[in-house]
Amino acid sequence: MTGLPVGGRGLVAAPAQPAMISEAETQRLVAAAQRARAAAYAPYSGFRVGAALLCEDDAGADAIVVGCNVENASYPAGICAERAAVAAAVTRGFRRFRAIAIATEAASATSPCGICRQVLAEFAPELIVVSAPKDGDTVHWSLATLLPFAFLPDSLPRD
């Protein structure tokens, strides 16, 4: 038993080949996320986060777009670094994402919150998620692992 629910016949797709990014790309992405973290506005939680999205344009060229968390006195109005990065990337015309790095000052790797997982899955269900804590080991996940059975655009009925 794996503990995972098994769908009906034909509902469970074979796992896709895991996407990869190079060690150099990982380092470049983490460095960008760490720089973005410095801009975080987190006066309430004190939990400063930077995110860096590795984007791909229509010609296949890479670009990095960053975001930081921006909190608010009306707490729910705040936005996480990951979603800030997605909004900035989409604003710049990017919709294909290969990886995201998240930099925090936590002692160990933290994963994106549920809302951010959903927003990232909209564009890249197989996204590579790299989490870099302040001092601990950097951890890699596939977004498909963090958000299995995601609700995706093709989950909506269309005419």
Q: Can you give the binding site for Zn ion, defined by CB under 5 A? A: 80, 113, 116
Q: Which two tokens stand for residue 151?
A: 């609700």
* Least distance in angstroms from the C-beta of 80 to Zn ion: 3
Give CA–CA dist 72/78, Å, rounded. Answer: 5
By beta-carbon distance, which residue lies closest to Zn ion?
80
Q: Are 99 and 25 in contact (CB under 8 A)?
A: yes
* Least distance in angstroms from the C-beta of 129 to Zn ion: 12
> Is 82 labeled as catalytic in the residue annotation?
yes
Residue 62 or 87 having the CB closest to Zn ion: 87
Give CA–CA dist 62/98, Å, rounded. Answer: 9
SS3 state of residue 97: strand
Residue 63 or 113 having the CB closest to Zn ion: 113
Write the DSSP symbol of residue 120. Answer: H
* Least distance in angstroms from the C-beta of 115 to Zn ion: 5
Identity at 155, one-letter amino acid code: S
Q: Which candidate in 23, 25, 82, 126 is catalytic?
A: 82
**Active-site positions?**
82
